[in-house]
Amino acid sequence: MSRTAAHAMEAWNRLTHAAHQAKIIADLVEACKAGQDLSRFAAALNWDGTPNTPEFLADLAQMIEDFQPVARAAIKLAEGTQ
């Protein structure tokens, strides 16, 4: 392989690695935002002892269930096991 080709290959590898890292970061940011949305929604619970509506509780349960695979995926990304 010529020197120019080797430099081009090295540059390409750096770019693809950077793009991969950028995607990982974007995915982690998205997971964090989803967790933040979930925590905001959960914070709206009636903590004063008054009953929460069944609809609110059902929505909260659904958000929690929807977030669990996002959290697992984010953990794998952060650990580098995906």
Q: What is the pLDDT of residues 15-32, one digit of tens each?
A: 777 888 888 888 888 888
Whether residue 82 has pLDDT greater than 70: no
Task: Tell me if 78 sits within 8 A of 25, measured CB to CB.
Answer: no
**Are 42 and 60 within 8 A, CB to CB?**
yes
pLDDT class of 41 with cuts at 50, 70, 90: confident
Give Cα separations from 23 to 34, 46, 55, 70 (angstroms).
16, 38, 36, 15
Q: Categorize the per-residue pLDDT at 54 as very low, low, confident or very high, splitting at 50, 70 and 90.
A: very high
* H/E run at residue 50: none
- The percentage of residues in the chain with a pLDDT greater than 90, rounded to a whole number, is 9
